[in-house]
Amino acid sequence: MADSLLITGASQLLTLRGRGPRRGDALSKLDIVEDGALLVRDGVIAAAGPRGQVEALPGARGLEKLDLEGRVALPGFVDSHTHLVHAASRAEEYELKIQGASYEEIARKGGGILNSVKKLRAATAEELKKRAHAALQQFAAHGTTTIEAKSGYGLDVASELKILKLHKELAAEHSLEIISTFLGAHVLPDEFRKKTDGAKRYIQLLEENLLPTVAEHKLAEFCDVFCDRGAFSVAESKRILQAGREWGLAPRMHAEQLSRTGATRLAILLRAASCDHLEQVNKSDIRALGKSETVATLLPGCDFHLGLKKYAPARALIDAGAIVALATDYNPGTSPTLSMPMILSLACAQLRMTPAEAVAAATINAAYALQREKQVGSLEVGKQADIAVFEVADYREIPYYFGVNHCWMTVKRGRVIHAAKESRN
């Protein structure tokens, strides 16, 4: 059984209670309880509120007590866009970018995603698993309790299945919750680029071989496509996502990152769970997202790492009423970070989001992006006791101290999965 305990002494308890995803002005409503406490029963929140009220409950008597001694507690971060399983860094490309080479120039020379594909295909499952395990520990150390993990660095049957099976194994072995996404349509693999009808033949491989196998073995919940210049067209993306839906995989998309293709409109049309990136959206796309249930997931770590000046138009999206979420886009090429606190810092400094908006985008709205809003993303009765505790006096200091990890403790389903070795005590 999961732990049962009384968590008390939070100077600020950010509950994010409320119905529905946070839109517009509601994005900054965190429902903060000062001097707050949580009662946890078998890994689930049984009560949340002021310390005096929670400690007086009959169910609180005799429970193990965890005193946060004035620290700030909030829902564990939900990182709704990661490429968890990969074989190695792409530090050599990082240097090339600094010297002026563009992302697309590097890709044309066999770098980029295809570089990661080559390395992953050559790696053993054991090597990949060891690297992913280390990453999961770092996610937890930064306050993340739930992640989405994509395939997409295999791009052949054996390698894509290798990644997806690792997701399943890692989810069974690690405390973090891992939600698997099939991204077989990341880019066209090298061996298909040399064929005149390569894209058509590769999509057939996805439809006839990979998607049925993924569905049969329950290896993913979502199907994703990189719809952009140099990747897959809107028509190709629609075909792949519709095929995925026929096999029970909900659609999500990489959209409008390098160029405006119409991917956002397709995501809305298909009622995708999310469309991610969105640096190149236009005003009509923004208005459409504001009226839709598709989550707009922004990935400022990617723009930061690539040294780009143009970030996604967060303020316009929020003002339009879109469901805005934040994620790390942890990957070896464009965003090698596991730190959601750093993503909050970038959201505040570069996207001009307030700290409150950034917290809501990285918790409850990100939970909606993964269709997990009933289980995670806020500290409410009946939800998992997924909690991040920070060694700060005020929640706004989490993004304020950029590049500094003040996560003191991370709790998943009522169990401590990370505890800082040093604290002020």
Q: Which residue has the higher pLDDT, 404 or 108?
A: 404
Please, are residues 122 and 153 in contact by the beta-carbon 8 Å criterion?
Answer: no
pLDDT tens-digit readout, 49-105 = 999 999 999 999 989 999 999 999 999 999 999 999 999 999 999 998 899 888 788
State the chain's mean pLDDT as an integer: 96
Domain with CATH 3.20.20.140 in the chain: 78-369
Query: CATH number of the domain at 78-369, please?
Result: 3.20.20.140
Which tokens go with 289?
A: 């997202």
pLDDT tens-digit readout, 193-226 = 988 899 999 999 999 999 999 999 999 999 999 9
pLDDT tens-digit readout, 9-36 = 999 999 999 989 999 999 999 999 999 9
Give start and end residues of each alpha helix (H) in 198-233. 198-205, 211-216
Neighbours of 311 (CB within 10 A): 20
pLDDT tens-digit readout, 335-346 = 999 999 999 999
CATH class name, domain 5-76+377-419: mainly beta
Distance (Å, whole) CA 354 – CA 414: 29
Distance (Å, whole) CA 180 – CA 172: 12
Question: 423 pLDDT exceeds 70?
Answer: no
**pLDDT for position 422:** 59
pLDDT over 90, % of the chain: 93
Please, are residues 168 and 177 in contact by the beta-carbon 8 Å criterion?
Answer: no
> H or E element: which one contains 148?
strand 144-150
Average pLDDT for 124-132: 98
pLDDT tens-digit readout, 237-247 = 999 999 999 99
pLDDT over 70, % of the chain: 99
Q: Integer distance in angstroms from the first to the last C-alpha of the chain?
A: 30
Average pLDDT for 179-191: 97
Domain with CATH 2.30.40.10 in the chain: 5-76+377-419
User: For residue 387, which of 406, 360, 405, 414 has the smallest C-alpha distance?
Assistant: 414
